Chains A and B, each alone.
Chain A
Amino acid sequence: MKHDTTKNNTQIFVLPAQVPLLSRAGWAVFLFALLVVGVLAPVLNLLVPEGHVLHLSDYAVGLIGKIMCYAICALAIDLIWGYSGILSLGHGLFFALGGYVMGMYLMRQIGVDGNYKSELPDFMVFLDWKELPWHWSLSDSFAATLLLVVLVPGFVAFVFGYFAFRSQIKGVYFSIITQALTFAALLLFFRNETGFGGNNGFTDFKRILDLPIATTSMRMTLFVLTGTILLAFYVGARWLVRSKFGRILQAIRDAESRVTFCGYNPLPYKLTIWTISAVMCGIAGALYVPQVGIINPSEMSTANSIEMAIWAAVGGRATLIGPIVGAFIVNGAKSWLTVAFPEFWLYVLGAMFIVVTLYMPAGVVGLVRKGLAKFGKGGAA
């Protein structure tokens, strides 16, 4: 190969022209989405009076805000699964880690307003602890919390990923091991003595940054923040997958041995995308907790992690818009069905897993694209 890349032959090896970050229409949609999230939603929620047709209810704000957190997770899953071929059943762990870091900060913000009027969080008083355990020492600082939201999931993912990818654990093996890791963490967080509130987790938050947390305006602030971060992650992910790094990732996904023979070591690529993906999930968790008002170990359950995969699969893997769409479809259906027909929800979810894997490998986005292509062809003929 070396000898081919002389001046004369460079032409042959020029990569195909890069697709732009977003097409013109894409940018338009992106800006529109940003406007909706950043301006329209707050206006409809805060300024339009209740009872008006266009009023956006607090419930809807809460729901959409929550789903946007899920969409970030779906995006993270897509980066690691859709673009790198690594199916993680452990992203619930990173989500929960981010959530727990934020939860610890929120617990400290309660201050002496808890049930026991103590400086310590209620569950510690209940367990008769006299002082904060060591891992709570940074929890009173918001800046440190923001840093830890990134660092904790990132560190766990890095260490685990390093060992897993180094010993060439792939495919289903990797999935099962991530599942085991999450399961172990679940058991650990369930324990009272690990200092994470046991099976009740953290709840009853009162303030964030000394501002009351359960107000309409705070909810809207978190909503706008989540939406903006989701859009930013989308563009960031888009930039990532069309960079050289992203191309190598996709090459690893399609034929890892060949990439290795070409002289690339897959380890740093996989490890980087794995860690990035975990950090994204952690941030989603940190945004999720103040909006939902509770974090407990059930977020780490096996079912939750696998559900993340189905969000990406329903929307369409290896398309970045797909997972976001998928997260909205699945969770929208969930929040409707669990209220309207609670006993049917698991049938529907189960059917989604089966139907999507059997008949819709490209997800909803794939179907739409196919439909558009057909329509386009039909129009041309």
Chain B
Amino acid sequence: MCVSLTSLISRLLAAALLTFTGTAQALTAADALLLATGDSDERIALMSQLSAGDDAQAHALIRALGEDRVRIQEEMVLIANDEQAVDAVSGAPVRLTDMAEDASVNNRLRGAIEVALAGVDVLRGTPDQQLAAARILQRGAFDDPQLSQLPLLQRALAQPKLSDETQQLLLLASAAVALQSDDVAVRLDAARKLGEAKRAVVRPLLLQAQASELDEGVQKTLKASLAAVDRALLFSNVLAQLFTGVSLGSILLLAALGLAITYGLMGVINMAHGELIMIGAYATWLVHVAFRQWLPDFFDLYLWVAMPVAFLTSALVGVLMERCVIRFLYGRPLETLLATWGISLVLMQTVRTLFGAQNVGVENPGWMSGSVLLMGNLSLPWNRILIVIFTIAVLLGVALLISKTRLGLFVRGVTQNRPIAACMGVNTARVDTYAFALGSGVAGLAGCALSQIGNVGPDLGQNYIVDSFMVVVLGGVGQLAGTVYAALGLGVLNKFIEGWAGAVLAKIAVLIFIIIFIQKRPQGIFAMKGRSAQS
């Protein structure tokens, strides 16, 4: 009898406790005090209980704790709001006195608060809040998997209208937590799910689980999952390298394209080409400043104005150079080299005098920032993608101009045989000027593009001059196609060597490769054939 009574009491107690920890739990004054002043373990345990519940007041208290707004005054827990305060339990306004003490929150607790709030938000928040909460939960589950989180995660996953990404994150989190389960089947399922996710973040988790896993079946699944993740990572790594290679290649191409016209087609070696790029970048910067100043509402559109401005500014400087210096030096390439080097010094110093020696900051328009996430692991920045597209557009434009227009015809004619072209009535001097302006303008466009991804300073051009000459030399003189292949090839080659040897060694390796390559094919990838090759 006695035994049965105690058992009855304990059962009743257990039932009471069950309802107590269940969904209908309300915040009591004792709980509030414990949450505000207890020791860390107690507070965290209580918090996870409360956050799993439905009580809005409890949630508000936790949120206030995270924001350092909880005060304790005469055994009452208050939530302070500027000068006013309300009782956390009853919601009644209370006047804060000097006796009020802050509830202390240490870092461990802060982390727990974040997770607890994420648990609240993921169930009740807006889609954006859900996503943010899912991120926090996923990170928490990966850093410190707690099996106690599993019910929450499952509840969150059971919600009907979840965005894809939120769902993904929650799935990952629940799988990570489930790996801690005592149930072999649950662990097996979790290991399989993690493998299917194919994301870089799951790798350390899988490795960790592999080290502590005793069950053979799970061990096997873990291994398979790990292999799947590694395969996916390798693939996306190669893709990422390929993309950065293409991205670098397109930058090289942009920088070299103008040179391919002035040097490749006209045979003018322009050491100031880099400075024309720099001028294009500065023109972009000026447009950017002007928009900021006078048209802040249309700031996102400034690039559309900057492109023609950069083109025209560089083209104008190019025409001046051609008219004043270079045309007297046709047929004397070494002298042209030195004179244009002199021009480059003057241009650099002019920019330094006008705008200062410091780099200037060019902000990207809003639509260029951010990135695209592919396959979970591969994030491609928008500005890089846009530069590749921009390069293709410029390339197409130049190719069409050279192959389809009358000016292009004249340029090709003068390139192939200047005297005969002159005999046919082509004004070769004018064609020279136009072609040089075109090449310079394209350099300006390159500057406009480069200003979006790097620093803009007086020395900007110096960084590209060696590279762009290498591209033109490698591609072969007088060929746009060669320039394209050379730029992309060098870009990709550079990035792949960089992957295992570092940036500087990659650059050196590429330079040496070019020097050796030129041994074998002194005329570049595409040698000019026929008579024009002799000169």
Contact = CB atoms under 8 A, between A and B. Distances in A.
Among B271, B334, B344, B520: residue with most chain A CB under 10 A: B334
Given A163-B519, A179-B469, A351-B346, A172 B337 contact: yes
Contacts of A176: 269, 469-470, 473
Contacts of B269: 172, 176
B8 interface: no
B508 A187 contact: yes
B209 interface: no
B466 interface: yes
Interface string B185-199: 000000000000000
Contact of B345 (A177, A180, A350): A350
A302 B462 CA distance: 9
Contacts of A87: 334, 337
A309 B473 contact: no
Interface string B506-528: 01100110111011101000000
A39 interface: no
Nearest to B263: A172
Contacts of A179: 466, 469
Interface in B484-508: 504, 507-508
A350 B343 CA distance: 6
B343 A180 contact: no
A166 B515 CA distance: 13
Contacts of B338: 306, 309-310, 313, 353, 356-357
Interface string A148-171: 000000000000100110111101
Interface string A237-280: 00000000000000000000000000000000000000000000
B298 interface: no
A181 B516 CA distance: 11
A358 interface: yes
Interface stretch (B165-173, B325-333, B376-384, B389-397): B325-333
B531 to A, nearest CB: 16
B508 A177 contact: no
A347 B349 contact: yes
B303 interface: no
Contact of B346 (A172, A343, A346): A346
B342 A349 contact: yes
Contact of A173 (B465, B504, B522): B522
A349 B346 CA distance: 8
A173 to B, nearest CB: 7
Contacts of B465: 302
Interface residues of B, number: 40
A36 interface: no
A172 B466 contact: no
Contact of B341 (A160, A164, A190, A306): A306
B81 to A, nearest CB: 56
A357 B339 contact: yes
B202 to A, nearest CB: 35
Nearest to B329: A357
Contacts of B215: none
Contact of A302 (B328, B352, B466, B512): B466
Interface string A349-375: 111111011100100000000000000
Nearest to B349: A346
Chain B interface, DSSP helix/strand/loop, else mixed: helix
A347 B350 CA distance: 8
Contacts of A160: 515
Interface in A182-196: 183-184, 187-188, 190-191
Contact of B470 (A163, A180, A350, A354): A180
B515 A183 contact: no
A350 B344 CA distance: 7
A304 interface: no
A298 interface: no
Given A169-B518, A187-B507, A306-B341, A175 B334 contact: yes
B511 A181 contact: yes
Contacts of A171: 333-334
Contact of A167 (B334, B343, B519): B519
Given A87-B337, A357-B338, A167 B518 contact: yes
Interface in B353-378: 353
Given A173-B522, A302-B466, A353 B511 contact: no
A352 B343 CA distance: 10
Nearest to B520: A167
A180 B473 CA distance: 11
Nearest to A181: B515
Q: 6 nearest interchain CB pairs? A: A353-B342, A350-B345, A350-B346, A346-B349, A184-B511, A357-B339
27 contacts: A87-B334, A163-B516, A166-B519, A167-B520, A169-B522, A171-B333, A175-B337, A176-B470, A177-B515, A180-B469, A180-B514, A183-B511, A184-B511, A184-B512, A306-B341, A309-B338, A310-B338, A343-B352, A347-B346, A350-B344, A350-B345, A350-B349, A351-B342, A353-B341, A358-B325, A358-B328, A358-B329
Interface of A: 81, 87, 160, 163-164, 166-169, 171-173, 175-177, 179-181, 183-184, 187-188, 190-191, 302, 306, 309-310, 313, 343, 346-347, 349-354, 356-358, 361
Interface of B: 269, 271, 325, 328-329, 333-339, 341-346, 348-349, 352-353, 462, 465-466, 469-470, 473, 504, 507-508, 511-512, 514-516, 518-520, 522
Given A306-B271, A310-B342, 8 more contacts: A166-B519, A173-B518, A184-B508, A188-B504, A302-B466, A310-B338, A353-B342, A356-B338
